[in-house]
Amino acid sequence: MKRILLLRGAELIVFALLATIPLLVVSPYALGLLTLLAIYGILLIGLDVTVGYLGQVNLGHVAFLGLGAYTAGLAVTKLGLGMAPALLAAMAVGLLLGGLLALPALRLEGPQFALATLSFAALSTTALNELEGLTGGAQGLSLDRPPVFGHALTPPLFYWLCMALLAVVWMLMRNLLASQWGRAFEALRDSPIATDAMGVGTYRHKVAAFALGSGLGGLAGGLYAFNFEYLQPHSFTYDLMIILLLGVVLGGRKSLWGAFVGASVIVLLPNLLSNRLLFQIFSGLGFAMALASGLRGLVKKTTRPFQALAPVAAMGMLVVGGLLVENTEDWRKAIFALMLFSVVVGLPEGIMGFLALFLAKLFRVPHAPLPEPADLDAVLPARAADGSPLLVLDDLKRHFGGVKAVDGLSMTVRSGSIHGLIGPNGSGKSTVVNVISGLYTPSGGTIRLRGAGLPSGSLLRVAQSGVARTFQNLQLFGELTALENVLVALKGVYRSSLPRVLFGLARAEERRAQAEALALLDLIGLKDQALARAKDLTYGAQRFLEIARALARKPDLLILDEPAAGLAHPDVLQQIDIIKRVHQRGITIILIEHHMDVVSELCDTVTVLDGGRIIAEGTPEEVKRHPKVVEAYLGQPPQTDISGGAAPLPA
């Protein structure tokens, strides 16, 4: 309760303070700044969805501000709409175009995504400027704030409107981002492949996240139009984009408070820069902060020397520059750059990320209590293992150019069994797994699950058909906690519609999901570390967590891709124990493994691959003695012509 009180209390106090300001202050300038703060607040919350949650550098957000502004402006001037429909239209245009842009931008990561959004922004400025008949082009578009219910909106009234909208957006986004949606956005950032393989569509969520962020950009644009009442295309360019990024990064990614702090910085920065003494005070404070955190990092050895020293150097330049330079405004961009640089390098979590940790310690804010784990029997009901064929591969082929990684493989996995798949390096094991799980499209042959064809070439649809997998090279969602990793994959609990989620009416469901996830963590012995971030877990624990996450899919067939790879001996024993317990619940398992003792201990049937073909099949004991297997593993000169040494294949 203390946590809720503190968090909600802080929000309430800030918004209540902001709401009373027009009653206290008569200065239109201050009110203008605060109105802008609210507008930029909404804009930055939108930008944070892509930059923070999706983890992509989005250089196109400014275009949605512009498009939203022009939509609202045109809705009022050309169509004579009122304020509410104009704002809705602005938001709708943002949502729609955001979704459209996300379609081609979908397959892109990192630099390509940044470039695509950058081009979009440049293109939309060009369009706004050139479509003179519609937008008035460079001449700009003048509009008047339409009255609401017959009342002209005075500056204080308009300010209240903006603040109220910020509060609503804040509340809805808080609910959304804390829900399965927000987790999916983050999962997408950390591992798109695993997100798909866990049955959470990357496609859908990426488009949704981008459209959502852009919709908020459009809404902010609408408010921007009614605030300034005059629009020009060149207001929405790269320069402003850089400032918006500054806001998000400085304030802190993945944080509503961060967006708020960022918006405050953006709004107040010009004033800060125009006052020399104030600038010196702030740069001095920044320097002291960088020095303190840098030294702390160095002493505790939590940061690299560069990470500790570079921000100190940058802030030092700011201090010295502030003393030398006559007009700080001339150096505005350099000052932005130095501030941003220090934050990106030294304080990756931003001001709010840093403060949040600090405040949490100060007020001893506990994490919200977790529910009791659910009954495992309810989460993973034991299923009948009748030995009927579950997965049937028939003449499966996968070629990469001339390389035949899998070359006519036929194999049957029986319900309730643990089916081992072994072979020397490059024998095609991993390719088989990748083809079954949908990462690769087969070049030929069929895969049938329970007699029905398994979708091919789609991780997502395979996952949704009841096949779950783990990854040889861990694909955990590193920034999420162990609990959240399992929650992302959890099947069958989240049923609430989006509006219910937005209005915070899906809490009961969330508790139920947590209880189920905890039960799964309990199964692998990680219940006590439920709140640790996945990337902070030990290597062994990360391997176990992969299994718990796959189990959250409640699969019929579980594919374990080298679950014991790299594990120390005690961990191997624990892993064997975990797999046995999973097997006891009637889940069919395909096990790819190098450790022969693990295979012997667990498997009912073993298939041995070499050169993309089966060279032996049988019980572990039979297979071990099989001459071809011995030869393939020990590499004796071939007495008979079997494969002659496989070409290196994609793992």
Partner 1 sequence: MLAAIKPLQPIGAKEDTMFRQTVHGFLLLAALGLQAGDTVKLAITGPFTGGSAPMGASTRDGAKLAIAEINAAGGIQVGARKMKIEIIERDDEAKNERGALIAQELASMGELAGVIGTVNTGVCMAGDKHLQEKGITKIICPAAGSASMTQWSKAGVKDLSIFRFAAHDGIQAAMVVEEAINRGFTKVAVVFDSTNYGVSGRDDMLDQIKKQGNKLTVVAQEKFNIGDKDMTAQLLRAKSTGAQAILIWGIGPELAAVSNGMAKIGMKVPLIGGWTLSMSNFIDNAGKNGNGTLMPQTFIEEPITPRAKSFIEGYHQAFKVGRIPSPVAAAQGYDAVYIFAAAVKQAGSTDTHKIKEALEDLKEPVKGVIATWNRPFTKWDPANVETHEAFRREQTVMGMVQDGRVVFGNPADKARLIKAAAGTAPAKPAAAKPAAKAKTK
Partner 2 sequence: MDPSIIGQMAVSGALMGLVYALIAYGFQLTYATSKSINFGQGELVMVSAFFSLTLTNLGLPYWLMVPGGLLFGALMGLVVERAGVRLALEQKGEGWILLTIIIGLFFFSAAENIWGRDDRPFPTPISADPIHVLGVDVTRLELSVAVGVFAIMGLVELFKRRTLLGKAFEAVSADRDAAELMGISATRTVMLSYGLSGSVAALAGILVSPITTVGPTMASALILKAFAVAVVAGLDSGFGVVLIGMFLGALESLASFYLGSGWREAPGLVLLILALALRPTGVFGKATIRKV
Residues near partner 2 (CB under 8 A) are: 55, 57, 103-105, 107-108, 110-112, 114-116, 118-120, 122-123, 126, 129-130, 193, 238, 242, 245, 249, 304, 306-307, 310, 325, 330-338, 340-341, 344-345, 348, 400, 430, 434, 439, 471-473, 475, 650-651
Q: What is d(CA 146, CA 152) in angstroms, rounded to the nearest whole number? A: 7
Nearer to partner 2 among residue 307 and residue 456 (C-beta): 307
Based on the shown chain and the rule CB under 8 A, indicate whether residue 119 belongs to the binding site for partner 1: no
Does position 139 interact with partner 1 (CB under 8 A)? The reply is: yes
Q: Which is nearer to partner 1, 323 or 634 (CB)?
A: 323
DSSP string, 589-616: EEEE-S-HHHHHHH-SEEEEEETTEEEE
Tell me whether residue 407 or residue 631 sits nearer to partner 2 (CB atom). 407
Specify the residue, 65 or 259, whose C-beta has the smaller distance to partner 1.
65
Rounded Cα–Cα distance for residues 100 and 237 (Å): 20
CB 44 within 8 A of CB 259: yes
Long-range contacts of 161-168 (CB under 8 A, 24+ apart): 161/223, 162/35, 162/38, 162/39, 162/42, 162/223, 162/227, 163/15, 163/18, 163/19, 163/34, 163/38, 165/38, 165/42, 165/219, 165/223, 166/38, 166/41, 166/42, 167/15
Among partner 2, partner 1, none, partner that 123 touches (CB below 5 to 8 angstroms by kind)? partner 2
Q: Pick from 108, 118, 153, 272: which binds partner 1 (CB under 8 A)?
A: 272
CB of residue 122 vs partner 2: minimum separation in angstroms?
6
Backbone angles phi, psi at 59, to 5 degrees: -105, 15
Does 330 bind partner 1 (CB under 8 A)? Our answer is yes
Q: Is 296 in the site for partner 1 (CB under 8 A)?
A: no
What DSSP string runs through 473-537?
S----TTSBHHHHHHHH--S-----HHHHHTT--HHHHHHHHHHHHHHHHHTT-GGGTTSBGGGS
Nearest residue (CB) to partner 1, 228 versus 494: 228
Q: For residue 607, report the phi and psi dihedrals to the nearest 5 degrees.
A: -110, 130
336 binds, among partner 2, partner 1, none (CB under 5 to 8 A by kind): partner 2
| Cross-strand partners of 481 | 533
Cβ neighbours of residue 539 under 8 Å, at least 6 residues apart?
Answer: 566, 567, 571
Q: How far is the CB of 475 from partner 2 (least distance, A)?
A: 6
Q: Which is nearer to partner 1, 78 or 333 (CB)?
A: 333
Could you give the CA distance from residue 472 to residue 425 in angstroms, rounded to a whole number?
13
Nearer to partner 2, 379 or 564 (CB): 564
Which range binds partner 1 by CB under 8 A, 192-200, 329-337, 399-407, 596-604? Answer: 329-337
Q: Which does 80 bind (CB under 5 to 8 A by kind): partner 1, partner 2, none?
A: none
Q: Is 532:482 a contact under the CB 8 Å cutoff? A: yes
Looking at the Cβ atoms of 434 and 607, the one nearer to partner 2 is 434
Question: Is position 270 an interface residue for partner 1 (rule: CB under 8 A)?
Answer: yes
- Residue 103 partner contact from partner 1, partner 2, none using kind-dependent CB cut-offs of 5 to 8 Å: partner 2
Query: 3-class SS at 148?
Result: strand
Among 109, 229, 386, 597, the residue binding partner 1 under the rule CB under 8 A is 229
Number of Cβ within 10 Å of residue 18's Cβ equals 20
Binding site for partner 1 (CB under 8 A): 21, 24-25, 27-30, 32-33, 36, 129-130, 132, 137-140, 142, 228-230, 232, 234-235, 268, 270-272, 274-278, 326-327, 329-330, 332
